[in-house]
Amino acid sequence: MGFKGHVRNGAVVLDDPRGLPEGAEVEVALVRRRRRRPTLGEELMKFAGKAKGLPRDLARNHDHYLYGTPKQ
């Protein structure tokens, strides 16, 4: 059986203390919650669809437009 609570003024206060007899021995384990960081793909998606006026064949011929290589 598990109970959840929070530390308040240096003491553990249970969210719902019902069901525990007075003086019961308990064990407390710290729960570390990590915030999930967005992936690189998720970060880059905020730029998706922002560029305007690009050539229709840019994906296929990006080297031509960047470096002047022959078109494919």
Residues found in the chain: 72
Please give the pLDDT value at position 24.
84
Taking the alpha carbons of 30, 35, 39, 40 in that order, is the dihedral positive or negative? negative
Residues with Cβ within 8 Å of 19's Cβ and at least 6 positions away in sequence, in order, are: 1
Q: Are 15 and 5 in contact (CB under 8 A)?
A: yes
Q: How many helices (H) and strands (E) does the chain have?
A: 2, 2
Q: What is the pLDDT of residue 9?
A: 92
Comparing 15 with 69, which gets the higher pLDDT? 69
Say which residue the tokens 């296929």 belong to. Answer: 60
Say whether pTM exceeds 0.75: no
Give the tens place of pLDDT for each residue, 15-65.
887 778 888 888 888 888 888 899 999 999 999 989 899 999 999 999 999
